[in-house]
């Protein structure tokens, strides 16, 4: 639904947008239905047109059946919304795809993001890791698992184009994943109040093609990047990710 | 200015006297305050097993004495209410002052206990166990002081035989302070 | 039911008639019972058995609280409304516990972990087991400087079961505490 | 001074022995619930104006980033954070709660249950004095070195607990102390309201004869009392963190920032219902009087209010879906959040149902009451987006959230309050407020309000996130359409603020020179219209007896289309 305002750029962006669409449709229906009935009553029962009001207690079935039926329908809509929301939530937050191409570590600092790329060997925690401030370089259509931490206060790692948001809580390491589907550079704002520089704390994510990424790797590490041809290099040794 | 009591204070649609009803509601809100603090402490305490070593440095003897002192002062408070029921203002005031004595003993024992612990370096910023220890016991201590002052004020009215129903109200508040300590004692002192 | 019970007319408890007069000894007996329970709750944990400690210390605490509430606060003859109101407030606190425990009380959960809490626990043990060694020569003198203060964030995000080192930090970590 | 017991009916106001009180005793240290109600109202509205000025400042910065704000000067990040933080804090704690609960509660509860004052007049005065002190303390926190607290009204630690991070070593503890004092004031006030309704009802007033606004304010007080406890404990812990350097919320020392988030939002969500229910009550009163119609299904409204209150204790973590709580918990809270939308929907439908078969007179209070329902429905429906965990991943902390809660808070604290003021003004001051100026003020408030927040829904969906000092720092947000809608929203705010001047002029002018108003200007049923307007110190000449429910309008076969509660049933 939001594609026309902010283009989808990750694998699960469409699913989250669908949840928003369903809520918009169901909620919108009930909103306009209620508003219409309200304005209709206000117009129809103006004092000039109906000088005498009825005396309705509202306990008799004849009148409150309108309330009860619309009530049950609202509950039904809630259940539909719940199913879609829970599925999207499970897909994004509670599960990580089996095949993870690379892992990155993100540390939020007061007023900048620190991205630790796995470097040419594709494994995090090896000496060739590339630690960059406010610039995250990823390859399009690859699945990345991130480990999110904060070094001082609460921050929130958010990529609006991916529909991704996860608070970085100091003392915690939170895992999540994303798969960029559109090449380009997008904003990575911090969306949790973190002090004076909260407004200027904006990183950028560079979703590159294979060769652009290789060029960046070379410029970052100064050596020719020995990245396996098809980029499906051995799965990075995740350290006991659950 | 002599406060003329509005009629509202004398109505009791629910049958419970207004003063006691307000006291129950006050205790209801106090339950949530102490509840919030103790639940936070319990969660941390269960999570960090090593806090048991820190808790080992709490003085169980002092805690037990204080529990005994508060239980006894609760007895005096209920005897004061008992005397007030029989319209015996003087006896009620006497028991109230015994209760206040109990409160002061409690504070003295706590003062000694705390100075000893602080001297040993277990200050409020020593570690999170001690932060919770001083915050919880401190908040409880403030309530003990508030209860003692309330009882002192009520006891002066009692001597002149006025507002005897207030003895019961301040007694209920005092029993609540005792109950909070009944839960604080095992949480802070015994969970070693 | 809105009889204007006048609170000033001598004490009318909620049952409407004058409170049942218990002799003084009635309250002293309850007090004695509370003391016995207190002694048990102190003696119990000394036997060292974990379950016994829980039962005696906390079980008895609940019993004592109920005794004080019922007999000293005269809740046994109070209107039921007061019991329900106090219980509702207690349930609110329990509700808070249920919603919060999953996050605050655990070292890790679904897709998150608290590396700093693991470090804190280890440091705490060291700081305090060290404390035990002090036991020998001085009455548990505890050096409060050795308080466990584990700077987080730039720590290696390792967990108890194995870790990987990642060096090379672009940013100096902000000093997390009051300069301690 | 033992007062002799006397049967209530024979009691009359002059029995109070009216010795003339000096101005100080009558107004500053008065224990009369009406004076205390007006004191709360004036302090609340004054603080509301402060909050509105703060919103003017940062809305100008949002629309024209970097430019000096006329009448204020350049907005630096620190000032921006302070303004945003204290706009939220003031508008909720020092404008919405005092005006909705304390002002209307104090003024109306004794009058509407047929009593002469609150059960604890001096406790009532004490609660106002603590509230006034907390307001002064909050304002003082602006003028200390490094200025006021700037870490959002939710004051999440470690930002709020460590001066190294928030750079406001004095502002943060003062802010926290002011909020804690305000809680104490409302606890004392709450006990007063609850006990007064429970015990001091007029004889014959059974449970279902109590007017809805009284019910709602007392249910709100109970909700507040049951939910604020953990936050008061949390405030003590945070205060020690800030001043003594303890480590309750500092992960390096075993603490957990999420503990504060849970403590805060466990209070936070019942708090928004604490503010909503009195507004629903005011709208119920105004709706029934100007529709000349019985409230549709009184018991349904009452029990849905209670159900909303109870459920509000199970939903709080929908504020923290992406804040690092365990994802599995989010599913539970999604279910409970969608569940709580059910009673509120039913209550809204019942209010719309009240207008069926009515005879609506569109006077100013009625316009505001209907506008409340219209706007609150939008607020309610947009809440579903945020309550559903799937959609909240994207919407959390964006302007969509901000637009949602302004679509609930502004109808509550602004539109419903105006409905109440225009409705009860004749009772408070014995004079009408000018109706034509009232309508101009209505259209000048309701329409620009939508102009402010509909665009913010759009910018929120486009990715604008909250509390950002300058959106142009983010290339994706420097789009032309977003810049336009931010300016549009600010201009709508300026128009809305301008129209409020009409209200204040009308309010203070009519207080002294408005058209005189009789005791029952709107032909309403409830007890407050039995008393003279403005009611004297003891409220009623003879304390009324209650014979029927408050909403017996247009009863077939009755002489007139309203039947006051205190009129004995005619002997058939």
Are residues A86 and A143 part of one domain?
Answer: no
Are residues A141 and A85 part of one domain?
Answer: no
In this complex, is the C-beta atom of B116 within 8 Å of any C-beta atom belonging to chain C? no
Burial of B139 (0-12, 13-18, 19+ CB in 10 A): middle
pTM of the model: 0.90
Query: In chain B, what are the helix, strand and coil shares in percent, each to the nearest 5?
Result: 80, 0, 20
Residues of A in contact with C169 (CB under 8 A): 107, 114, 131
Residue A208 host element (H or E): strand A202-208
> What is the residue range of A56's domain?
7-94
pLDDT of residue D30: 86
Q: How confident is the model at residue A185 (pLDDT cuts 50, 70, 90)?
A: very high
pLDDT value at A232 more than 90: no
Please give the average per-residue pLDDT across A164-183, as a whole number. Answer: 94
In this complex, is the C-beta atom of C99 within 8 Å of any C-beta atom belonging to chain D? yes
Tally of helices (H runs) and strands (E runs) in chain A: 3, 10
Are residues A58 and A26 part of one domain?
Answer: yes
Are residues A134 and A59 part of one domain?
Answer: no
Query: Average pLDDT for consecutive 10-residue bins of chain D (572 residues)?
Result: 35 46 78 93 96 95 91 92 95 96 95 91 94 96 92 93 91 96 95 93 90 95 95 95 91 90 96 96 95 92 95 94 93 94 92 92 95 96 94 94 96 96 94 94 96 95 91 90 95 96 95 92 92 88 89 88 86 61
> Domain segments of chain B: what residues?
19-190
Residue D489 domain-assigned?
Answer: yes
Are residues A125 and A68 part of one domain?
Answer: no
Residues of A in contact with C165 (CB under 8 A): 125
Residue D549 domain-assigned?
Answer: no
pLDDT of residue C143: 44
Domain range B19-190, CATH class? mainly alpha
Nearest CB to C111; choose among A107, A133, A174: A174
Between B89-119 and B128-159, two packed helices, what is the crossing angle to 10 degrees?
Answer: 160
Instruction: Determine the Cα–Cα distance for residues B4 and D19; give it in Å rounded to an integer.
Output: 11
How crowded is residue C135: how many other Cβ atoms within 10 Å of its Cβ?
Answer: 11
Q: How confident is the model at residue A235 (pLDDT cuts 50, 70, 90)?
A: very low
Using one digit for the tens of pLDDT, what is the confidence trace for A41-91? 999 999 999 888 888 888 888 888 888 888 899 999 999 999 999 999 999
Between D104-112 and D171-199, two packed helices, what is the crossing angle to 10 degrees?
Answer: 10
Instruction: Determine the Cα–Cα distance for residues D224 and D219; give it in Å rounded to an integer.
Output: 9
Are residues A148 and A88 part of one domain?
Answer: no
Q: Report yes or no: D490 and D63 within 8 Å, Cβ to Cβ.
A: yes
Q: Match 């039962």 to its residue by tokens.
A: C55
Instruction: Determine the Cα–Cα distance for residues A166 and D328; give it in Å rounded to an integer.
Output: 15
Q: Match 């218990």 to its residue by tokens.
A: C22
Instruction: Determine the Cα–Cα distance for residues D446 and D496; give it in Å rounded to an integer.
Output: 8
Domain termination site, one of A71, A94, A117: A94
- What's the total number of domains in chain D? 1
Give me the percent of chain A exceeding a pLDDT of 90.
Answer: 63
Nearest-10 Cα torsion for D430, D434, D440, D444: -30
Question: Three-class SS of residue D556?
Answer: coil
In this complex, is the C-beta atom of C154 within 8 Å of any C-beta atom belonging to chain A? yes
Which residues contact residue D129 at a Cβ distance below 8 angstroms, ignoring those fewer than 6 apart?
Answer: none
Are residues A144 and A116 part of one domain?
Answer: yes
Residue to mutate among C106, C170, C174, with most A CBs inside 10 A, is C170
* CB–CB contact D323 A47 (8 Å): no
- What's the total number of domains in chain C? 2
Instruction: Determine the Cα–Cα distance for residues D75 and D147; give it in Å rounded to an integer.
Output: 13
- What's the total number of domains in chain A? 2
- Scanning B32-51 for CB atoms below 8 A from D yields 32-37, 39-40, 43-44, 48
- Here the CATH number for the domain that contains residue D503 is 1.20.210.10
Are residues A78 and A133 part of one domain?
Answer: no
Q: Match 């209530």 to its residue by tokens.
A: D8
CA D535 distance to own-chain centroid = 25
Are residues A192 and A121 part of one domain?
Answer: yes
Give, in order, the Cα–Cα distances in Å from D120 to each of D128, D250, D259, D538.
13, 42, 36, 15
pLDDT of residue A219: 86
Which residues contact residue D202 at a Cβ distance below 8 angstroms, ignoring those fewer than 6 apart?
Answer: D113, D114, D115, D527, D543, D544, D545, D546, D566
Residue D571 domain-assigned?
Answer: no
Residue to mutate among D234, D254, D260, with most B CBs inside 10 A, is D254
> What is the residue range of C134's domain?
108-146
In this complex, is the C-beta atom of B22 within 8 Å of any C-beta atom belonging to chain C? no
Angle among Cα D12, D24, D532 to the nearest 5 degrees reads 35
How crowded is residue B143: how many other Cβ atoms within 10 Å of its Cβ?
Answer: 19
Are residues A179 and A139 part of one domain?
Answer: yes
Q: What is the DSSP letter of A157?
A: E
Residue D9 domain-assigned?
Answer: no
Give the pairing type, strands A135-139 and A202-208: parallel
pLDDT of residue B11: 82
Domain termination site, one of A94, A120, A146: A94
* CB–CB contact D324 A167 (8 Å): yes
pLDDT of residue C149: 60
Nearest CB to A173; choose among C112, C161, C171: C112
Residue B103 host element (H or E): helix B89-119
Nearest chain D Cα distance for residue C76, angstroms: 21
Are residues A136 and A207 part of one domain?
Answer: yes
Residue to mutate among A112, A124, A125, with most C CBs inside 10 A, is A125
- Mean per-residue pLDDT over chain B, rounded: 90
pLDDT value at A97 more than 80: yes
Are residues A122 and A50 part of one domain?
Answer: no
For residue A114, the cross-strand partners are: A107, A133
Question: Three-class SS of residue A166?
Answer: strand
pLDDT of residue D559: 85
pLDDT tens for chain C, 180 residues: list them: 333 333 333 344 444 444 567 888 899 999 999 999 999 888 888 887 778 888 888 889 999 999 999 998 888 888 889 999 999 999 999 999 999 998 999 998 889 999 988 888 888 888 776 544 333 333 344 444 444 566 565 444 333 323 333 333 333 333 333 333
Size (chain B), residues? 192
Residue C97 domain-assigned?
Answer: no
Residue C138 domain-assigned?
Answer: yes
Q: What is the DSSP letter of A136?
A: E
Residue D5 domain-assigned?
Answer: no
Domain termination site, one of A41, A64, A94: A94
Which residues contact residue C133 at a Cβ distance below 8 angstroms, ignoring those fewer than 6 apart?
Answer: none
Give, in order, the Cα–Cα distances in Å from B106 to each of B100, C140, D552.
10, 25, 59
Q: What is the DSSP string of D166-226?
A: HS-TTHHHHHHHHHHHHHHHHHHHHHHHHHHHHHSPPTT--GGGS-HHHHHHHHHHHHHHH
Q: Report yes or no: D543 and D11 within 8 Å, Cβ to Cβ.
A: yes
Greatest pairwise CA separation for chain A in angstroms: 89
Residue A183 domain-assigned?
Answer: yes
Bin D77: left if φ > 0, else alpha if -120 < ψ < 50, else beta: alpha
Residue A231 domain-assigned?
Answer: no
* CB–CB contact D262 C177 (8 Å): no
Residue D20 domain-assigned?
Answer: no
Residue C38 domain-assigned?
Answer: yes
pLDDT of residue A202: 86
Q: Report yes or no: C120 and D253 within 8 Å, Cβ to Cβ.
A: yes
- Here the CATH number for the domain that contains residue A214 is 2.60.40.420
Nearest-10 Cα torsion for B153, B157, B159, B164: -110
For chains A and B, having 3+ Cβ pairs within 8 Å is answered no
pLDDT of residue D350: 92
Nearest chain C Cα distance for residue A112, angstroms: 9
Nearest chain C Cα distance for residue A72, angstroms: 28
Q: Match 């026309």 to its residue by tokens.
A: A4
Residues of D in contact with B29 (CB under 8 A): 187, 190-191, 225-226, 228-229
> What is the residue range of D194's domain?
29-529
* CB–CB contact B54 C139 (8 Å): no
Residue D83 domain-assigned?
Answer: yes
């Amino acid at each position: 639904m939001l594609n026309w305002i902010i283009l989808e750029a990750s694998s699960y962006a469409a699913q989250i947008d669908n949840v928003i669409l369903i809520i918009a449709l169901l909620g919108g229906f009930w909103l306009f239905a209620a508003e219409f009935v309200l304005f209709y009553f206000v117009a129809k029962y103006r004092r000039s047109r109906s000088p005498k009001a009825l005396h309705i207690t509202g306990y008799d079935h004849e009148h409150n059946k309108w309330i009860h039926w619309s009530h049950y329908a609202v509950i039904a809509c809630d259940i539909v919304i719940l199913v879609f929301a829970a599925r999207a939530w499970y897909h994004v937050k509670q599960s990580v795809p089996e095949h993870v191409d690379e892992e990155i570590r993100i540390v939020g600092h007061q007023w900048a993001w620190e991205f630790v790329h796995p470097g040419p060997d594709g494994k995090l925690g090896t000496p060739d890791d590339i630690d960059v401030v406010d610039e995250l370089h990823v390859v399009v259509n690859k699945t990345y698992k991130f480990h999110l931490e904060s070094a001082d206060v609460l921050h929130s790692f958010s990529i609006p184009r991916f529909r991704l948001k996860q608070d970085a809580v100091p003392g915690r390491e939170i895992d999540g994943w994303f798969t960029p589907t559109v090449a380009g550079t997008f904003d990575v704002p911090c969306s949790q109040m973190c002090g004076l520089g909260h407004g200027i704390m904006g990183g950028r994510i560079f979703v590159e093609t294979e060769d652009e990424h290789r060029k960046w790797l070379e410029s970052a590490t100064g050596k020719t990047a020995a990245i396996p041809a098809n980029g499906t290099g051995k799965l990075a040794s995740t350290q006991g990710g659950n | 200015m002599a406060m003329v009591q509005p009629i509202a204070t004398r109505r009791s649609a629910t049958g419970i006297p207004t003063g006691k009803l307000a006291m129950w509601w006050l205790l209801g809100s106090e339950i949530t305050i102490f509840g919030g603090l103790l639940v936070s402490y319990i969660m941390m305490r269960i999570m960090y097993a090593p806090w048991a070593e820190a808790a080992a440095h709490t003085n169980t003897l002092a805690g037990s004495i204080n529990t005994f002192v508060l239980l006894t002062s609760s007895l005096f408070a209920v005897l004061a209410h008992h005397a007030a029921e029989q319209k015996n203002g003087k006896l009620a005031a006497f028991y109230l002052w015994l209760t206040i004595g109990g409160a002061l003993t409690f504070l003295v024992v706590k003062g000694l206990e705390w100075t000893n612990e602080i001297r040993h370096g277990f200050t409020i910023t020593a570690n999170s166990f001690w932060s919770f220890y001083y915050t919880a016991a401190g908040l409880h201590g403030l309530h003990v002081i508030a209860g003692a002052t309330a009882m002192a004020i009520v006891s002066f009215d009692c001597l002149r035989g006025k507002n005897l129903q207030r003895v019961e109200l301040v007694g209920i508040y005092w029993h609540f302070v005792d109950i909070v300590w009944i839960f604080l004692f095992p949480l802070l002192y015994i969970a070693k | 039911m809105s009889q204007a019970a006048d609170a000033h007319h001598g004490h009318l408890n909620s049952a409407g008639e004058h409170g049942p007069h218990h002799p003084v000894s009635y309250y002293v007996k309850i007090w004695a019972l509370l003391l016995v329970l207190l002694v048990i709750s102190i003696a119990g944990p000394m036997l060292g058995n974990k379950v016994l400690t829980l039962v005696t210390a906390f079980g008895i605490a609940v019993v004592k609280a109920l005794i004080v509430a019922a007999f000293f606060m005269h809740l046994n003859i109070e209107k039921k409304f007061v019991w329900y109101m106090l219980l509702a407030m207690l349930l609110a606190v329990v509700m808070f516990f249920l919603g919060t425990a999953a996050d605050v009380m655990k070292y890790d959960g679904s897709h998150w972990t608290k590396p700093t809490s693991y470090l804190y626990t280890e440091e705490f043990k060291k700081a305090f087991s060290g404390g035990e060694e002090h036991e020998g020569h001085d009455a548990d003198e505890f050096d409060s400087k050795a308080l466990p203060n584990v700077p987080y964030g730039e720590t290696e995000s390792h967990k108890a079961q194995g870790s990987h080192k990642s060096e090379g930090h672009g940013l100096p970590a902000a000093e997390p505490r009051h300069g301690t | 001074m033992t007062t002799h017991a006397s049967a209530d009916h024979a009691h009359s106001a002059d029995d109070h022995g009216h010795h003339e009180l000096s101005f100080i005793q009558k107004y500053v240290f008065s224990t009369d619930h009406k004076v205390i109600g007006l004191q709360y109202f004036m302090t609340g509205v004054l603080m509301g104006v402060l909050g509105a000025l703060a919103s003017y400042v940062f809305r100008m910065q949002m629309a024209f980033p970097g430019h000096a704000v006329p009448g204020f000067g350049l907005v630096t990040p620190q000032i921006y954070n302070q303004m945003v933080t204290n706009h939220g804090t003031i508008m909720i704690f020092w404008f919405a709660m005092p005006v909705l609960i304390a002002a209307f509660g104090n003024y109306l509860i004794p009058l509407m249950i047929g009593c002469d004052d609150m059960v604890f007049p001096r406790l009532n005065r004490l609660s106002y004095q603590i509230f006034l002190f907390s307001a002064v303390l909050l304002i003082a926190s602006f003028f200390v070195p490094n200025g006021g607290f700037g870490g959002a009204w939710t004051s999440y630690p470690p930002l709020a607990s460590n001066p190294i991070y928030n750079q406001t070593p004095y502002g943060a503890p003062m802010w926290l102390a002011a909020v804690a004092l305000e809680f104490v004031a409302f606890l004392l006030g709450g006990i007063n309201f609850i006990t007064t309704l429970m015990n001091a009802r007029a004889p014959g007033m059974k449970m279902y004869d109590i007017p809805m606004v009284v019910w709602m304010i007392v249910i709100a007080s109970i909700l507040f009392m049951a939910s604020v406890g953990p936050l008061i404990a949390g405030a003590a812990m945070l205060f020690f963190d800030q001043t003594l350097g303890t480590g309750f919320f500092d992960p390096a020392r075993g603490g957990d920032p999420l503990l504060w988030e849970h403590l805060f939002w466990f209070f936070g969500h019942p708090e928004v219902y604490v503010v909503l229910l009195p507004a629903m009550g005011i709208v119920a009163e105004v709706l029934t009087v100007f529709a000349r119609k019985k409230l549709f299904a009184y018991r349904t409204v009452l029990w849905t209010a209670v159900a909303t209150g109870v459920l509000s204790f199970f939903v709080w973590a929908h504020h923290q879906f992406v804040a690092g709580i365990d994802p599995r918990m989010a599913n539970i809270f999604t279910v409970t959040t969608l569940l709580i939308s059910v009673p509120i929907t039913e209550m809204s439908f019942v209010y719309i149902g009240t207008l069926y078969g009515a005879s609506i007179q569109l006077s100013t209070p009625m316009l505001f009451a209907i506008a409340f329902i219209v706007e609150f429905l939008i607020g309610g429906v947009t809440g579903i987006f945020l309550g559903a965990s799937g959609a909240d991943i994207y919407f959390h902390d964006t302007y969509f959230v901000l637009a949602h809660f302004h679509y609930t808070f502004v109808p509550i604290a602004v539109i419903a309050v105006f409905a109440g003021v225009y409705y009860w003004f004749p009772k408070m001051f014995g004079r009408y407020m000018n109706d034509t100026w009232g309508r101009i003020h209505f259209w000048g408030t309701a329409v620009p309000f939508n102009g402010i927040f509909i665009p913010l829904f759009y910018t929120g969906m486009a990715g604008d996130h909250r509390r950002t000092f300058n959106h142009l720092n983010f290339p994706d947000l420097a789009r032309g359409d977003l810049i336009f809608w931010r300016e549009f929203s600010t201009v709508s705010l300026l128009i809305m603020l301008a129209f409020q001047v009409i209200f204040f002029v009308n309010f203070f002018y009519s207080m002294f020179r408005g058209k005189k108003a009789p005791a029952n200007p709107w032909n309403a049923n409830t007890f407050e219209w039995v008393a003279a307007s403005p009611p004297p110190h003891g409220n009623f000449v003879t304390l009324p007896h209650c014979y029927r429910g408050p909403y017996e309008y247009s009863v077939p076969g009755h002489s007139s289309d309203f039947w006051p509660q205190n009129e004995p049933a005619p002997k058939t």
